[in-house]
Amino acid sequence: MRSIFACLVTLVTAAGCAHPDNPGPELTITPSDPSGTVAITGPTNFSAVISNTTAEETVTWTVSGGGTISSTTGLHTVFQPALGLMPAAATLTAATADGLTATVSISSGPAVITSDTIPNLLAPVTVLTDAQDIPHIRCATKIDCLAVQGYIHARDRFFMMDFLRHVARANLAELIGVDGVSQDVQIRTLFVTRSGQRIEDALSANSDPAIKALLDAYTGGVNAYLAYLRAHPSDMPGEYKQLPFPITAADIGQWSDEDTFAMARLQQFQLSETLSEETGFATFAQAFGPTTARFRAWIRSAAPAGEQAHTLSATAHTGVVARSAGAPATNLAALGDGLAKLDAKLVALRDRLRPYDASVGSNNWVISSAMSATHQAMVANDPHLSLQYPPLFHLAVMTSALAADHLDLAGGAFPGIPGALVGRGQHVGWGVTVVGYDVTDVYQEVLSACAPAGCVSYNGVPEPLIVVPQTFLVRTAAGLVNANTIQGVSVPAAVLIAPHHGPIIQLISPGVALSVRWTGQEGNTQDLRGILGLNTATDVDSAIASLKDFATGAQNFVLADDQGHIAYDPHALVPVRNFADPLQTAGNPQAPWFPLKGYDGSAEWGPTGTDCASAGATAVPATCWIADNLLPQGKDPAKGYFMTANADPTANGVTDGNSPLSPANQPYLSFDWDDSTGFRATRIQERIEAAIATNGSVSEADMESIQSDHVSRPGKFFATYIAGLPTASDTANLTAAKAILATWSADGWDCPSGLTGSDPNNSGIDTSGTVVDDSAGCFLFHAFLRDLFTNVFTDDLKVVGQGVNQLQAMKAMMYMLTPDGAGDQDFCGTANGAGAVTPKTCASQVVTALAQAYAQVAGSYGSVSSQWKWGKVHTMQPVPLLALITTNYEPGPYARPGGAFTVDVGTPSTASAGLKFPFGSSGNVRHISVMNPTTPVTKMQLPGPEKDGPVLFGGPDLLGQWVLNKYFDFAIGTQVDAVTVSTQTFTAH
């Protein structure tokens, strides 16, 4: 009787009930638990076992109640729990065609990770990790939160931290060998104060004591992990194994506060210096002269006509375009070929620090509660940097139990720097993009002989150069050795400093040199205090107050709080340059975007031109910097939003007239900002205004749609121009090309990938809507644009040893094709050598490039444009942080939509050959927050894993989501309780 009852109730059943002495076929699942539900903590392999039969059976798998399975057929499947904790048990079922079935109930819960210790913690700290591998740090006080953040940064990304501190502290050669020497020499030269102190040492010594205590805690957390690593050398990050010479855990030095300050300053340098721009402008002017058509076309501050949306404009703004941007005051001829040599070195440094054509492209905007569909203020941001593997940002949540801390922070930080640069706090959300203030000047110095290393003339008086001795070490197979002992390596014995300006960066001749002054060389700024204050701000007003400490690497901070207010604040140290003000220089100002006169005191910072240049000073008066009320800023505008995209933010568009020296009531701020094309700013404004016009408000879905927008505004300009060209002499190729662009224009200049997936080689064709035509139009446009820029500019720029800068080429070409630039078309002629030029119009160059591009694409993909799939050639592939690291650290490539200067940035490199259009930089996070005070909503994307490791190591596929523009819900505060996959506790002992 018992066996018959068991036959009726068992979860393992057959088509009929076999005799107990002769059991029939049975199907079971392992693992299983006869007493109830199988509890798991992550992906788990389940197997089907068929017994009492020799027949081959096909097993099919189904799941209900949550979670996914890796395969629906076969003897094995991997069950992946739903994100976080499943609210109820899932049911996994296996079945065969003959009617055998088996089921198992599955529940998932967080795994408990072994506790760890961090010396000096004040109380235990709990870390909950969610399904994206994001740590949620819960602490009693914020100092403990930062200590644990330091530990986790080191655990997840230490090779990145170690590499970047070696770069920032100019001892990269100690990590990678002789290939790092030239970069070390340049960083050692640039990263000193005017008194000769290393910047990171000065910043650490002058740090606010309260902030220093927080940073000490962060450093302690990093070093706690390094202690673990030394005790467990098998856990060394895999990148170390690919370095030229063995690096062991014992070789890794302790982390220091100075490491963090150096990394922060390096990042600020990358985002603010204009050294290579100024030497490039000067080299160009030296070759072509400041009164030529080429000069007027190439050295421009104004955005193209029609692309002049500005952050602080009350309405859509259209400026005027003037003819000249101002000429250099310095005698460039006296600099000889030393100027070009310096330019080449600086370009090489820029390319090493911002590799793979890391062109501009950050976007952010905030919507007021009055214009928000949810009646809550909203913020969106996608800061644009090189796409690297692992990504540059690391996401975390930190929550302090101490109410006075105001710490409930969710966002992204650069590992090695505490807090968050992008994200939201307890009450304020924010976004960042680079402003592009001009905070760098190059000075021509006059040298003379004197002890010990020479003198520099200042106001006609010789003053001794400051001498800072240097030693450069290089890692070799024998260990660290002095660079001077390596054959073929030459390093300077000292950095020389012109005390009123800064380090000497190029010796032109025995009597002439160039020095540089950059606001980042000030050693007493409190930038970290500004960021940590922003992280804990209670409203936009307190956020703005905190940002007064953010001095270098200026960011367009857009702010939204949970009271419904929005604000815009791009505070930074911007020099007062009265020498650039026509009203104070008898109408003969010096242009700061060229080398300045350093020898006669005529181009000094500050209101009098002398009070900010005291020799060797570590601090300068506040009057040296433009007052806050003269910098762009705003709160709660009537239009209901602020948007930035690296363009001119001012209300009156100070660069629109192409002469940015002191417009009415405005000091000189910048020559051309960080992206003066204005394409993205104008498109974002257009999309926001369209949403308001259609629905009366902007929704969270609108924010996502704008962030993924890939309409080409430069495509609109050129396609419209081409449509207006005469057709009488068109060839068959031109007729076909114009027809493709006409169709593209009718559809709105969109740039989809044209593929159904992200694999550029194996994805199907997307035939929905107008995708086929738009993909072809975008493909043809970019092929045309590259050919046009190459044909028009390469021959001229070769004269000065420069490549085609895409931002300058775009502005120059659009200028020359408009009536204002009709007389300045010399670039469009073709150089024939020995100074000879064949005159050509820019219109004829457009026609030539279009025919050339059509022939190229048709020759490779056929004349049927429906086969021209943009995503097959427009690809992104994150690169390792260090070019030496290649094995298993290069995911992709991935097909992507977008293109040159689209909002969803995918600007192809101009250096790529053939019909390949890869891009190497884009949004390093995509962040959207709705600032609801009771139920906050945050969406996030990250282009890679939280934890460093080889590609496809089995963690969450955040990169795959990013490629497809898919957001995940970023849990805030107690929201993580429902989605925790593991927990860990940190204690002091």
Name the band, by pLDDT with cuts 50, 70 and 90, for residue 138: very high
Which helix (H) or strand (E) segment is 114 a member of? none
When pLDDT is cut at 50, 70 and 90, the band that residue 588 belongs to is confident
What pLDDT sits at residue 584? 85
The mean pLDDT of 119-138, rounded to a whole number, is: 96
Report pLDDT digits (tens) over 913-922. Answer: 789 999 999 9
Tell me the average pLDDT across 798-824: 94
The pLDDT of residue 621 is 86
Predicted confidence at residue 359, as pLDDT, reads 59
How far apart CA 579 and CA 669 sit, in angstroms, is 13
Average pLDDT of the chain is 91
pTM listed for this prediction: 0.91
Q: For residue 107, what pLDDT is reported? A: 85
Task: Express each pLDDT in 104-113 by its tens digit.
Answer: 999 887 888 8
Among all chains, which residue has been given the structure tokens 């994206």? Answer: 132
Confidence bin at 29 (pLDDT 50/70/90): very high
Residue by residue, DSSP assigns 916-964 as: ---B-EEES-EEEEE--SSS-EEEEE-SS-SS--STT-SS--HHHHHHT
Question: Residue 326's pLDDT band (boundaries 50, 70, 90)?
Answer: confident
pLDDT of residue 910: 75
Closest by CA to 525, choosing from 610, 628, 625, is 625
pLDDT of residue 83 exceeding 60, the answer is no
Region 957-978: mean pLDDT is 94
Whether the pLDDT of residue 713 is over 80: the answer is yes
By C-alpha distance, which of 277, 298, 325 is closest to 656?
A: 325
Structure tokens at 358: 């890391």
Q: Above pLDDT 70, what percent of the chain?
A: 94
pLDDT of residue 953: 66
pLDDT given for residue 357 in this prediction: 44
Contact 856, 915 (CB under 8 A): yes
Query: For residue 286, what are the CA distances in angstroms to 335, 621, 795?
Result: 9, 35, 17
pLDDT digits (tens, 9 = 90+) for 405-456: 999 999 999 999 999 999 999 999 999 999 999 999 999 999 999 988 899 9
pLDDT digits (tens, 9 = 90+) for 366-395: 999 999 999 999 999 999 989 999 999 999
The whole-number average pLDDT for the span 261-279 is 93
Angle at which helix 732-747 crosses helix 771-798, to 10 degrees, equals: 120
